[in-house]
Amino acid sequence: MRRALLIIGLIVLGGAAGFGIATLVSQRLSGTSSPLPSVVNAPSIPYYGNNGRPGGGMGRGMMGPNYGYSVPNSDIKRITIDQAAQAAKDAISNQSTDLEVAEVMQFQQNFYAVVVEKSSGRGAFEMLIDPYNGDVSYEPGPNMMWNLKYGMMGRTLTVTQDNTVTLNEAKDLAQKALDEEVPGATVEGNGYNFYGYYTFDYQVNSQIVGMLSVHGLDGQVWFHTWHGTFISEEELVNE
């Protein structure tokens, strides 16, 4: 009898433990677990894990699944920054006459481009260009998840909220994150003011080494970890 009661007790405890684990996993997947830290710097896909992966498509090269790109073989040459800029321009040419490419940056893993609105001067969205074949995709991370107007829920959405964190406050938050995560790094320039967030370059010893974004409503910081080493940049529109 005692043996039977002991077995029943173990089964009940095991079931309770399993339920607790299942509940915890469910909470984490549904976003009801404890708040995320204010500084997010995961090694591959920060903040949203695999949910941050881009998907869908808008024609050849647009909305591709890659963050960075690997060399197909040693005989393939990288495209130039001017070719990357042209690829970015071509990608938005049928999107809106109010959009233009403001800046292109060359990194080890990809080219990065900022698209702005001509009428407002605001940042519209960010793109990546494959450094070998010139395919263009929407950048993952903040561009997909925080962009209130051009984000993953649909292009050119009606903006229901805008940045309540000011530019100067965002720069201060970005610098605080850098002080904690990349000692010696400083925010470079004034960055770009997108709908829902800001993006800044940061530098060490006057050399650009990376990029990060600050949420325009709650001030969370998201490091862009998919670019690799900075190589060069070209401004196409004066800020």
The tens digit of pLDDT for each residue in 39-59 reads 333 222 233 222 222 222 222
Amino acid at 203: Q
Asked if 137 and 62 touch (Cβ cutoff 8 Å), the reply is yes
CA distance linking residue 222 with residue 213, whole number of Å:
5
Q: Assign 73 a pLDDT band (cuts: 50, 70, 90).
A: low
194-195-199 Cα angle (round to 5):
30
Which residues in 14-161 belong to E strands, given as ranges?
39-40, 99-107, 111-117, 123-129, 136-138
CA–CA separation, 46 vs 230, rounded Å?
A: 19
| Residue extents of the structural domains in the chain | 1-34, 39-235
| Sequence letter at residue 157 | L
- Rounded to two decimals, the pTM is 0.69
Q: What pLDDT is recorded for position 220?
A: 93
**Token couple for 99:** 């959009």
Record the tokens describing residue 50, joined without a space. Answer: 């695999």
